[in-house]
Amino acid sequence: MVLFLLLVVAYGLLVRRPLDRVLAERRVRTTGAVEQARCAISAAEAKTAEYEDSLRRARAEILAEREDRLKLWSAERDQALAAARAATAEKVKAAKGEIEQSVAIAQLQIEGMSAELSEQIVRAVMPAGTRPEAAQ
């Protein structure tokens, strides 16, 4: 019995206490590592949220710039179309004026030629002695 007690005491001193200390130290280290991992995960989640927020803001800024650029291009296109329409309207007006002038000149020429043509037709159809001018 004494030997058993001595063996239990020796076991407690030589094996049990060091083993308990090692296990307690291991538990503390494991708990610390788990806490560090949780902190790292929280920090990573915070950085991810911050990154997503900055990415969302950047996308909104790019979209706003794109819309501004499209509005500017649209305004420039509208101005160019208005200028082209005005130039075309001016060309059409000038062409109409030229056509009207050509028509007036052609009518004057036709009127001038009609008297001459009628005279030639009368000379060709009527004999030389029966012309209306000779009768006068």
- For residue 132, tell me if it sits in a domain: no
pTM above 0.95, yes or no: no
Q: Report the C-alpha gap between 55 and 4 in whole angstroms.
A: 72
Report the Cα–Cα distance between both ends of the chain, in Å, rounded. Answer: 181
Count of structural domains within the chain: 1
- For residue 33, tell me if it sits in a domain: yes
- For residue 7, tell me if it sits in a domain: no
Residues of the domain holding 44: 18-126
Q: What is the pLDDT of residues 91-131, one digit of tens each?
A: 999 999 999 999 999 998 888 888 888 888 888 888 666 65
- For residue 74, tell me if it sits in a domain: yes
- For residue 89, tell me if it sits in a domain: yes
Overall average pLDDT of the 59-78 stretch: 97
- For residue 31, tell me if it sits in a domain: yes
CA-to-CA dists, residue 126 to 64, 73, 100, 131, 136, angstroms: 90, 77, 38, 6, 16
- For residue 106, tell me if it sits in a domain: yes
